[in-house]
Structure 1
């Protein structure tokens, strides 16, 4: 008998030792005595692998340095007690509540909402509306006033004309009459979207309420969605304060002529477009759908192009003058292709509120909550008319210790619901039967506690949820730490910033530049003629009149102060006064007339202040990290690290 016990003891000891060794092997490094496991490092590394643009960060050793620095900062944040700050706890709690909603949905209801959403993004609605503002928490009296007002306005719009009434009643404070243009699914709050899509073209909706107040909507048109459009554009803006700059409406016509002459759109965009974001890419913009850009004129022109490579005539928007070239058009994707994206949108949208009822039902099933609650009769018996006066209290002989309902491992007592009833009293609450009141309050009590119990336990039940919450938890700590330790102190440490500038002045120098005129043409022959004219000191307008004709633009000029990185300057161009040779650049030919070479210039502290502060912050952070690495010792398990490298290579 004793031998059997001894054998079992030895076996248990061996198992524990193996588990301890396995756990030890899973530890990638320690920050002092706190272990950091391989699983966490690999999960974060693999998750961020496609996001990092710096190739060095894809190297395991380089990424490990970033990761250990990250853990050092977290260690310091907790040592400073930042995780105990009320503001930190509030924000984390708020985020967890928002995130929890996406993990607590009923699949069938969600599927129905997603299908409806797809139907709605497949169409564009054009509508105008009138809104009578009233707060969500307004008193019944104020709510009734607003409701009666929207009823009267609807009667007027039916008898008179919606547009006339809309313009007349709009005051921008309590009543809004607005043109909405075209919109699709997810562009408006859900209740408004639903009312618009359920109203026939030419009709006016019945009054409905959103969180903003009471609306009526006049539907003017409904069309199939135009889908998604990808275009390139050349944009010219007016150079305010530059009296010598050519008018954008004149210059855009010259560019348009060059396009019609057969010159490449992308080459011209690189040379002349004022949209610095798209110019290096030949003017190409990210794909967009109706209503997304907030520039109806631009969208109408873009979607009005029918064939790939079609080019619009020059046109004007609030942003400047444009020429647009169609790169691609695609219709709304199939339901299956877009379904995951729609599901995420539904979970973030007002539609999620409609899923709550299904969630309560599923949680009741999960936690085996009985449909009937016999205890409610007792609570009905202790209510009286004081409840409507907000003065009701629990009786002295209240049976608070009796069990009411159990959710998972948590037992709720009569006292819990009794306290809820007491706090739920509302001033001016309309009279109703005690049966109705208790039933409604218990439903609210039960639903809120079902959700809370699920929320409180979701982090232990769902691994993905736990990872996301942990990342956000750490991110909040790091932001708070960096703000208090580096960013704010670096901005306010004027003496330190000035000293840093004085010590590193050689970093804050304007590069060598040229005051130049650059002639651009599709033909070398044209530039040879331009060189001769420039050599005679002929004015640019005269050269253009001689070289260009009314029907054909042969040369365009760019002038001003430029550095080597300017889009018009040829690569590896040697800064030298005079007229250059002809270069091939950006798909065209260019010649540069350098009027003056401006030497490198030392920037003053005020001129470089923004960059100096940024560099000073980086300098402080680097030294701070060195101090942290002395304060908290990092011990890396080299064997585990080698195993990780082997896994990643595979």
Structure 2
């Protein structure tokens, strides 16, 4: 997108313009008989008042001049049909879709989920669970069997003890009884996370379903999050063929002694660690928080290290023997510091379905969408087994013109949903009934059209959105106009640019300058010494050695071709060849050796080319605007303008 140039253009033009009509319908001026309303002018003027740096631009008459010029340009752009260019329409539609997301979705629901997520990453839950495995597309009968089974296990766990039942029923295939250790927000699927965080410590949850099946969870502990750790480790794996002399526990103690003797941890990790992924990096692992590792013992040791650089004693896990070094530790950041990151996670996570549902539920009410069970029954009746084979077609006697659902002012008929069913035959659950299948497909169909309808009518329904879109629409159109009419032609018309330079050479002049060396020091006495040395033509390096000694910098030199505005020179500096007097400048002192005084002279075309092109564009635009003023008559309603001025003053 041309956003960078677009915004540069808008700032140059001073204002961000909109094209909305006022309720009052008071016309401030017309452009070729097309009205421009007071409300639009006032909204733009007030909106941009704080952005204006130049006080003169706050003058209503001058601001109105800018505004009418802008309207003339827009009139010309539309006359040239730049608003019908495919590239323009494509870019505008892309922007509208991106912007609409900020206005369509329910921010309240998102904000609540983000706050909930922060609360959950601020704590660690320790829990165990029992899972009855169940496919997502399980039949109603299999679902009921699994639910009854988990319910009975919960009853047993309440009477016999959770751990007893968990260990007994676990078979690693259809039933899992697992220790989960500690985990935090975003570490489990959202439904599991919900159940765990909403169950009190010591309690067993009610049965709940995730995509894996039915669970019950027992919460063993809840603590404040310990944050994140980054560590390095040296690991010696346990192998069945280890000899007595090669026992890893013996070798790890020898490595630990080397560490205590002052050898580098990273070097020892590279030499001896059996973790081939981390060894080349000095044993360094990716940062982790509670519950991310499959080794609670390793995690406990890592979090027990207090200071960066601390090294643990050797310890054992199921993977082998380890020594751990702490590289970094981070506590849970403040909410505002990670709010945007959490929001992005929420929108990628299973939580996004809650946001989507909140939106579509709101839109169903807003657009008064009515259920049509008879229609869905009809669609279920015309499906057959071909749908599972992805070869199903609408029947010859299909009732395509029958009304299906109305969203706002838009009526959808049977043919709309029928075509959708025909096109979307993938991802069908073979165990689902035709009735359930049609219901699921219809919800997806309806939700997509609800959102699309909202997007298409957002300008009518939301004034803020309409203003922003109109601002972008007009700005983008103006950019295309200026690029086509002024900028590109001004850059490519080399003959006109050269002629403009020849006619305006006096504008491109190099001022009087000096080729000089300027010495600056906080001490006037030092500069007196420097002035004498410069008089003797001593080199700057030799002078520095004499006056900048014992680690102190007493003088700094600037060598350049300088005009009177150069920062190294005081305002009253005399452009005379030779050693200058000592001047006080910027709370210090300077003395200069002027090698040559260069007279004022014209810049060559190449020297001034960038400025010439810029001036030529301004010149070309001014002439072009005069032609637009002749082409499109602007008529100001003076009475209305006087009222506007009084309103602004008050």
TM-score range, shorter chain: 0.5 to 0.7
The 1-side partners of 2:487 and 2:290 are apart by: 49
The 2-side partners of 1:124 and 1:608 are apart by: 59
Aligned residues: 454
| Residues 81-139 of structure 1: per-residue CA shift (max 9 Å, x gap) | 111222222222221111111112224322224436877899997879xxxxxxxxxxx
The 2-side partners of 1:51 and 1:349 are apart by: 34
1:275-314 counterparts in 2 under 5 A? none
Following TM superposition, by how much is the alpha carbon of 1:71 offset from its aligned partner in structure 2, in angstroms?
Answer: 0.3
1:194-273 counterparts in 2 under 5 A? 199=292, 221-224=328-331
The 2-side partners of 1:344 and 1:47 are apart by: 32
Q: What 5-or-longer segments of structure 1 have no aligned partner?
A: 1-21, 129-157, 169-177, 182-194, 206-218, 227-331
The 2-side partners of 1:488 and 1:388 are apart by: 58
Equivalent residues of 1:114, 1:346 under 8 A apart: no
The 1-side partners of 2:343 and 2:624 are apart by: 41
The 2-side partners of 1:411 and 1:536 are apart by: 95
Following TM superposition, by how much is the alpha carbon of 1:617 offset from its aligned partner in structure 2, in angstroms?
Answer: 1.4
Equivalent residues of 1:106, 1:359 under 8 A apart: yes
Number of the residue aligned with 2:562: 562
Number of the residue aligned with 1:112: 112
Number of the residue aligned with 1:500: 500
- 1:509 equivalent to 2:509? Answer yes
Distance 1:126 1:648, change over 3 A: farther
The 2-side partners of 1:544 and 1:99 are apart by: 60
3-state SS, counterpart of residue 30 of structure 1: strand
Following TM superposition, by how much is the alpha carbon of 1:507 offset from its aligned partner in structure 2, in angstroms?
Answer: 2.3
Following TM superposition, by how much is the alpha carbon of 1:450 offset from its aligned partner in structure 2, in angstroms?
Answer: 0.7
Number of the residue aligned with 2:103: 103
Equivalent residues of 2:405, 2:413 under 8 A apart: yes
Number of the residue aligned with 1:453: 453
Number of the residue aligned with 2:376: 376
The 1-side partners of 2:293 and 2:628 are apart by: 66
Following TM superposition, by how much is the alpha carbon of 1:582 offset from its aligned partner in structure 2, in angstroms?
Answer: 2.1
* Match 1:160 to one of 243, 250, 275: 275
3-state SS, counterpart of residue 606 of structure 1: coil
3-state SS, counterpart of residue 607 of structure 1: coil
| Residues 278-335 of structure 1: per-residue CA shift (max 9 Å, x gap) | xxxxxxxxxxxxxxxxxxxxxxxxxxxxxxxxxxxxxxxxxxxxxxxxxxxxxx6x85
Q: Which moved more, 1:68-77 or 1:527-536?
A: 527-536
| CA radius of gyration, larger in | 2
The 2-side partners of 1:527 and 1:180 are apart by: 57
* TM-score (structure 1 length as normaliser): 0.62
The 1-side partners of 2:406 and 2:585 are apart by: 76
Q: Which moved more, 1:475-484 or 1:573-582?
A: 573-582
* TM-score (structure 2 length as normaliser): 0.62
Number of the residue aligned with 2:534: 534
Q: Which moved more, 1:613-622 or 1:70-79?
A: 613-622
Q: Which moved more, 1:574-583 or 1:382-391?
A: 382-391
The 2-side partners of 1:166 and 1:541 are apart by: 46
Number of the residue aligned with 1:232: none
Number of the residue aligned with 1:614: 614
Following TM superposition, by how much is the alpha carbon of 1:446 offset from its aligned partner in structure 2, in angstroms?
Answer: 0.6
| Residues 129-188 of structure 1: per-residue CA shift (max 9 Å, x gap) | xxxxxxxxxxxxxxxxxxxxxxxxxxxxx98354358999xxxxxxxxx9999xxxxxxx
Following TM superposition, by how much is the alpha carbon of 1:41 offset from its aligned partner in structure 2, in angstroms?
Answer: 0.6
Distance 1:425 1:504, change over 3 A: farther
Following TM superposition, by how much is the alpha carbon of 1:560 offset from its aligned partner in structure 2, in angstroms?
Answer: 2.2
The 1-side partners of 2:523 and 2:416 are apart by: 86
| Residues 550-600 of structure 1: per-residue CA shift (max 9 Å, x gap) | 132211111122333333222343322122222232332212221112233
Number of the residue aligned with 2:441: 441
Distance 1:479 1:409, change over 3 A: same
Distance 1:572 1:53, change over 3 A: farther
| Residues 317-372 of structure 1: per-residue CA shift (max 9 Å, x gap) | xxxxxxxxxxxxxxx6x85xx99x96998699868956333211221232343567
Following TM superposition, by how much is the alpha carbon of 1:36 offset from its aligned partner in structure 2, in angstroms?
Answer: 0.7
Number of the residue aligned with 2:552: 552
3-state SS, counterpart of residue 457 of structure 2: helix
Equivalent residues of 1:118, 1:342 under 8 A apart: no
Following TM superposition, by how much is the alpha carbon of 1:615 offset from its aligned partner in structure 2, in angstroms?
Answer: 1.8
1:579-618 counterparts in 2 under 5 A? 579-618=579-618
- 1:74 equivalent to 2:96? Answer no
Q: Which moved more, 1:446-455 or 1:524-533?
A: 524-533
3-state SS, counterpart of residue 514 of structure 1: strand
The 2-side partners of 1:113 and 1:89 are apart by: 36
Number of the residue aligned with 1:648: 648
Number of the residue aligned with 2:34: 34
Equivalent residues of 2:226, 2:290 under 8 A apart: no
Distance 1:594 1:606, change over 3 A: same
The 2-side partners of 1:644 and 1:123 are apart by: 61
- 1:628 equivalent to 2:628? Answer yes
Q: What 5-or-longer segments of structure 2 have no aligned partner?
A: 1-22, 123-224, 232-272, 300-325
The 2-side partners of 1:225 and 1:113 are apart by: 18
3-state SS, counterpart of residue 51 of structure 2: coil
Q: Which moved more, 1:109-118 or 1:444-453?
A: 109-118
